Amino acid sequence: MTKFPHDQFAKEYLQELLSPLGEVETSKNVTAEVREIDVWFQPTSFEGEYVQSLGLLGKMAATAAIIEPFRNPVTAEGIFSCVVKLLNSRAELGRRANRENQRFDERQLPMLMLWILTPTASEALLNSFGFRTPEESEGWGRGVYFLSEVWRVGLIAIHQLPKTPETMWLRMLGRGRVQQGAIAELTAFSVNDPLRANALQLLYTLQENLQANTPTNPAGDDEDQELVMAIVPLFQQHLQEAREQGLVQGIVQGLEQGREQGIEQGREQGQRLILENFLQVRFGELDPLTLTFVRPISALPTAEFTMLLVQLSMLPIAQTDRQPVHNVLAASVLNNRFSASAPSAELPVNLIPNLLALSPEKLSLLLSELPELSLDNLTTRLSQRAS
C-alpha cells in the first residue's frame, strides 16, 4: 500500500509510456537541498509510430525533460519548487561536464525542459507568472502554456485539453470527469494493444491502493470513490475478455476432439487467464509456488472458481508474504478433491503446511497425481516427506 496512490500512479504511468523512447527515472534526487524529481526523461530513440500514438505526450518526449505531475491544482509555491529543480538540474549537468573535463556547451542546456502537469490552472495563476499561449503554428493546442523561451518551462492545464485521441494519455492524469472520460476512452482500444493492457494494469493497482487506503480515511474521498467505480467496469471487461479469449482458444484447439471437450478446454483456459491476471494485479509477479496451483485451480467448477476469487480479494495486499495466498489456493484444491469424503474442517491439520513445504517441482508432480490419490495416501506421502 502506498500513502500517495495518485502520485505513485502518475510516476509509474509516465514511466510505462515513455520508457520505449528513452531512459526514465522516477523519484530522482537532485543536489543542493535534496529535492526529488517525479519523472526524469532522457530520449534515446525516436520511434515515429509509437511517438505518434502518444499524441501530445509523444511531442513532449522530443527532448530531455523533468515532468512534474500534480494531483491537486498546482500553486505558486509548487511552480517555484519545480523551477528550482530545473535550475539545480542544469547546474548539475554543468558540474558533471567539468568533472569529466568536457568542454561545456551552453547551447545544450536549453534542451532540458520542465513540464508541469496540473489538473486545473486559474487564469490569475497563469498571468501572475507570465505563462503564454503558443502560436497556432507551433502546434501545441489548447491547454498548453509556456514561460518565455529562455526558461524552457511548460505547463499543461489538463482540464483545458481538447477531448481528442491525441490528449487522452495526459487526460488520464486529470481529475473527476476529465480522468474518468479518458478511462472510458481506453476501453475502445484494441484488446491486443499493449499500451491499453499496461495502462489497465496500472489503473487496477491504483484502484487497489485507493481501496487499501480507505481504512485510514473512513470518511473517504468522494472523487476517489468515483474513480474506483470508474475502474471497476474496466476490470470486469478485462476478465470477460480473458474468459472469451480462453473459450475461443479452447474451442479451436478442441474441435478435433469434439465440441463439448473443446468448450470445457475453453472454460479452463479462460479461468486460467482470469486467475493469472487477477493474481498479478492484486499481488504482483507470480512466484513459482503460486504458479503450480494455476492449472488445478483453472479446472475448478465455475461456482467454486468464483468463490475462490472472492476469498483472494479479501486477503491483504502484500508483495512479499505470499503465505496467505498459498494457503487459500491449496485449501481450494484439496477441498475440491476431497470434499465428498471429508469436509474442510476434517482435513488433517498439517496437510496444507506439509503440502506447501514441497519444492515447486515436487508440488507440481504431486498435484498432477492428486486425482488418483485418496486422502490417506496423500497424508501418508506428505508425512513421510516431512519426517
List, for residues 109-130, the tens digit of each pLDDT value. Answer: 447 899 999 999 999 999 999 9
**In contact, 195 and 17? CB cutoff 8 Å:** yes
Residue 119 half-sphere exposure toward CB, CA atoms < 13 A: 16
Angle at 249 between CA 271 and CA 232, to 5 degrees: 40
In the DSSP assignment, the letter for residue 348 is -
- State what percent of residues in the chain have pLDDT above 90: 21
Least confident of 14-18, 267-271, 360-364: 267-271
Highest mean pLDDT: which range of 120-124, 234-238, 271-275, 304-308: 120-124
SS3 state of residue 27 = strand
In the prediction, which pLDDT does 5 show?
A: 79
Angle at 211 between CA 180 and CA 286, to 5 degrees: 100
Residue 245 pLDDT exceeds 80: no
Residue 213 pLDDT exceeds 80: no
Q: Answer with the residue of higher pLDDT: 254 or 378.
A: 378
In the prediction, which pLDDT does 345 show?
A: 46
Q: What are the distances in angstroms from CA 94 to CA 85, 148, 151?
A: 14, 22, 16
d(CA 195, CA 212): 26
**In contact, 356 and 327? CB cutoff 8 Å:** yes
Burial environment of residue 286 by CB neighbours within 10 A (0 to 12, 13 to 18, 19 or more): middle
d(CA 174, CA 181): 10
In the prediction, which pLDDT does 107 show?
A: 47
- Interval 277-281 mean pLDDT: 76
d(CA 196, CA 186): 7
Centre a 10 Å sphere on the Cβ of residue 33 and count the other Cβ atoms it contains: 7
Residues 82-104: tens digit of each pLDDT: 999 998 888 887 777 666 665 55
Please provide the average confidence, as pLDDT, over all residues in the chain.
78
In the prediction, which pLDDT does 88 show?
A: 87
Per-residue pLDDT band for 138 (boundaries 50, 70, 90) equals: confident
Q: Closest Cα to residue 278, out of 317, 222, 252?
A: 317
Contacts of 338 (CB under 8 A, 6+ apart): 347, 375
Residues 197-210: tens digit of each pLDDT: 777 767 766 766 66
- State what percent of residues in the chain have pLDDT above 70: 72
Contacts of 91 (CB under 8 A, 6+ apart): 31, 32
Per-residue pLDDT band for 25 (boundaries 50, 70, 90) equals: confident
In the prediction, which pLDDT does 179 show?
A: 86
Strands of the 153-157 sheet, one edge to the other: 22-30, 35-43, 65-69, 113-118, 153-157, 144-146
In the prediction, which pLDDT does 140 show?
A: 93
Contacts of 363 (CB under 8 A, 6+ apart): 289, 292, 355, 356
Residues 307-354: tens digit of each pLDDT: 787 777 777 766 567 888 898 898 888 888 887 555 444 677 788 888
Listed in sequence order, the DSSP H helices in the chain are: 5-18, 48-53, 56-60, 76-99, 123-129, 168-171, 176-186, 194-213, 222-254, 259-283, 288-298, 302-313, 323-338, 351-356, 360-369, 375-386
Phi, psi of 142 (to 5 degrees): -70, 145
Q: Closest Cα to residue 353, out of 332, 330, 337, 374?
A: 330
385 is written with which cell numbers? 516427506
- Interval 226-254 mean pLDDT: 52
As a whole number of Å, the CA-based R_g of the chain is: 26
In the prediction, which pLDDT does 184 show?
A: 80
In the prediction, which pLDDT does 248 show?
A: 45
SS3 state of residue 36 = strand
**139 torsion bin: left (phi>0), alpha (psi -120 to 50), beta (else):** left
In the prediction, which pLDDT does 218 show?
A: 45
